[in-house]
Amino acid sequence: MKIRITSNTFSSVLAAALTSVTTVAATSAPTPQYQIYDIGVVDVGDTFSQGLGVSPEGIAVGRSIRNDGSHAFSWTLNGGIVGLPDLAGRSYCVSNSANDSGGVVGTGATTVFGSGRLPVIWQNGVVSQLPLPVGQTLGDANSVNASGVVVGSVNAGSDQRGVIYSAGSATIITQTTADGSYFLTAFGINDSGRIVGQGIDPAHAARNVGIVYDMGQNMAFDVGALPGANGALAFGVSNNGYVVGSSMFNQGSGMPFIWSDQNGIVAIPLASGTSLGQAQGVNSSGWVVGTDGGAFAVPFLYDGTNTYRLQDLIPGNSGWDLSMNTSSSAMAISENNIIVGTGVHNGETHAYAMVPATPTPTPTPSSTPTATPIATPRVTPRPRPTPHPRPTPPH
């Protein structure tokens, strides 16, 4: 089951980030209702696309893949999909994150697996490479905040380290937690400089560390683990400090969680019919999206009380399958509750944006934009997941 992408690599961490648990739940607030939009593909002949991130105000980003390369893209409800230029010498590009000031960040590589990866920024559509620390030749960019501070990683394998790109330079995150755990890679940053990611515990290498670094306080800490687990992976952070991810025992399957300064780590109930999962994105209202699993990938929305399958929140005749395949995901949620991810639309794997709808009238497919142009109805075989979340690709 495919969950998270970095460095142009599919990374389902469900194998390394999820646990068996029974489902949810209570009902109190009205069930959210959404209209779903097909983001489509950039060029005729692109075989599929993926939605990977969204800015606070709803700019979606991801990649559109063809046999010999991939285009990073941005998308807005009014403007549709816009392909972003490739970095010179890197024909496989992916955009992972955007802010609302025209900044988009991601990775350029020479293969779909992320070989020769470099951190990339598009500022108002103009592409450039982010600087690497002295002596480094590989890097990626995973998240950008409103101030244009970018986080990701440099190097590969056991030498990979979390990094901050800011003010024309790159700095490796050297601050460790109280027990000496350090950043392997940074997945998210919020506007106040709270950074989240995957850490390594040198005393217990098999244990994942959901690591957090606060730039203002120059302090790092571990979010801990859910009962029965000994570690976690932290994938997303909201502007008011919520952290989400998955908690597991060693490299086993895990369970989605939300962490806050007030309550610590708390399990998110699983969507119906699933047995494992991970949370990917969170907004300041505490709404969380991610992907649960079992036989199929099941994107979900958690509103602080109930966990909903995204399939149940969209019009029944939309042509979208978000529950009966292994390609679907929910990767990010904006401050105004726009959800971005990947699903299967009329047989084609495409990025989507789900926009909150008023309860009545129920949207109909006739008002739903379709992908333009239409992609060839053939999906390129995807790289298989690796045992670690968002790993460094081979180079």
For 150-197, what is each residue's pLDDT tens digit? 999 999 999 999 999 999 999 999 999 999 999 999 999 999 999 999
Query: If you search the block for the tokens 């932290």, which residue do you land on?
Result: 234
Q: Which residues contact 79 (CB under 8 A, 6 or more apart)?
A: none
Burial class of residue 251 in the structure, from the number of CB atoms within 10 Å of its CB (0-12 exposed, 13-18 middle, 19+ buried): middle
Residues 123-151: tens digit of each pLDDT: 999 999 999 999 999 999 999 999 999 99
Q: Residue 26 pLDDT more than 90?
A: no
At residue 14's C-alpha, the angle toward residues 9 and 15, to 5°, is 95
Q: Residue 12 pLDDT more than 80?
A: no
Buried b (16+ CB within 10 A) or exposed e, 310-327: bbbbbbeebbbbbbebeb
Query: Which pLDDT score is estimated for 224?
Result: 98
9 in helix, strand or coil?
Answer: strand
Query: Which pLDDT score is estimated for 183?
Result: 98
Mean pLDDT (the chain) is 87
Q: Residue 243 pLDDT more than 50?
A: yes
Give the number of C-alpha atoms closer than 13 A to the C-alpha of residue 313, restricted to the C-beta side.
Answer: 30
How is residue 318 annotated by DSSP?
Answer: S
Residues 316-345: tens digit of each pLDDT: 999 999 999 999 999 999 999 999 999 999
365 in helix, strand or coil?
Answer: helix
Q: Return the minimum-mean-pLDDT range out of 46-50, 162-166, 361-365.
A: 361-365
Residues 246-290: tens digit of each pLDDT: 999 999 999 999 999 999 999 999 999 999 999 999 999 999 999
Contact 14, 299 (CB under 8 A): no
At residue 281's C-alpha, the angle toward residues 275 and 284, to 5°, is 125
